[in-house]
Structure 1
Amino acid sequence: MKSSVVILLTVLLFGCTSAPKGITPVEDFQLSRYLGTWYEIARQNHSFEKGLSQVSATYTLQEDGGVAVLNRGYSEEEQAWKEADGRAYFVESANIGHLKVSFFGPFYGAYVIFELDKQDYQYAMVSGPNRKFFWLLSRTPQMPKEVIDELLAKAAALGFPVDELIIVDQSKKTSM
């Protein structure tokens, strides 16, 4: 019984950091180029982002080599900015775009960068531990439609339910 509890706790604490089957994290990843602010272009609908527009994520290097994460978005319903602070660490090595991220104490989830503009780091596609978690990120609040369409076609080919995605409204200019 005791070993079953240990196994269950191990799965709960560490089991959600794996990449989904068939999703390969980018290699030759350079964290220094990835740091900074990214804007959500598209995402799957989840309660923790429900109703948010103007969503961004800002990544900064921590002293321990990890990454501080600040997610923020505007809630039209509450007429207020919502923020979530987290931290992320590499799962394998620093040159593979596979991190584990936590916003809730010791509980980590997968952050798998599986598509990345290697030339300029201008866009990225990110998965969680399964295909129910997907984000299309950009360095700018808007992306050309043809680039979005091309990237979402790649995501669809990998089994992500792109027909269920929310296109994030980045057009408003709400003061921070």
Structure 2
Amino acid sequence: MRELLSEKLSNYAPSQLTLDFPEAAVLVPITDNPDNPEMIFTLRSSRLSMHRGQVAYPGGMRDAEDESLLVTALRETHEEIGLPPEQIDVVAPLSQVMSLHRILVTPYVGVVPEDCPMQANPDEIESIFRVPISFFLEDRRERTDALSYIDNTFYVPCYQWQHYQIWGMSALVLVDFLNAVYDAGIDILEPPK
């Protein structure tokens, strides 16, 4: 799995946003099963003040002592789902996105062992779940949301997996990953026909 991701992302130029907003970072964890790779998501606690009860990638706000946004992503992943940094093989960043709360988020793709134990931090995470990447490549979206960011509108898929809805910023990062790695051709600049 590492080889495929490295090959595809080595020629990928993630977009960088020149915005003076608070920074955060997330990990886009992919299991190392080459035949059936899965993406790992979290369901955020309903007790949180921001993005409560929403599906998200593990991650969070940059602390002043974090040397880099990658350090932020790894630290937050360990805090939220108990996955130690040494279990994560970081491949590359994806394009930066801006949250609705005006936070600049940098996603990092990382390969993790398929059988890695994870434990949700109950203060932040209600559950951890996995979705086969093949499910997203079929593009069986439930709907398409028109999301406005600064001067742009993006037409972002919403996917239903079991009782989880993957939408918004998480879906935006997901589509960037699918297009960069699998040439999925999911157009977010035009409304679907």
Greater radius of gyration (CA): 1
Normalised TM-score (structure 2): 0.33
